[in-house]
Amino acid sequence: MANPLRGEVIRLYKNLLYLGREYPKGSAYFRERLKSAFMKNKDVTDPEQIKKLVARGDFVIKELEALYFLRKYRAMKKRYYEPEK
């Protein structure tokens, strides 16, 4: 019997993999860390524990999005505003 949370875990992995393309240390670094994190938890079968791990992954997605928005904001600010003295 397949775990009903399997699709949610795969969706999380794909979203993180997509967001990792712009990671500051490089996409290869991010992909390696992502794979090791998922492989570390591959034997978890408790649905409650899986839900906690998926919630943590969603938090990481929000943090990555905030990191990217901040980077874009800083680039635009540097481009269009004079440096403060």
Average pLDDT over residues 68-84: 85
- pLDDT one-digit tens code per residue, 17-67: 999 998 889 999 999 999 999 999 999 989 999 999 999 999 999 999 999
- The single residue listed with the structure tokens 């990792």 is 20
The per-residue pLDDT for 1 is 36
Q: Is the pLDDT of residue 75 over 90?
A: no
Tokens 């019997």 -> residue: 1
Closest CA to 60 of 32, 30, 39: 30
Q: Would you list the domain boundaries of the chain?
A: 4-81
Q: What is the pLDDT of residue 85?
A: 67
Report the alpha-carbon distance of residue 52 to residue 30 in Å, rounded: 21
Q: 25 or 3, which is more confident?
A: 25
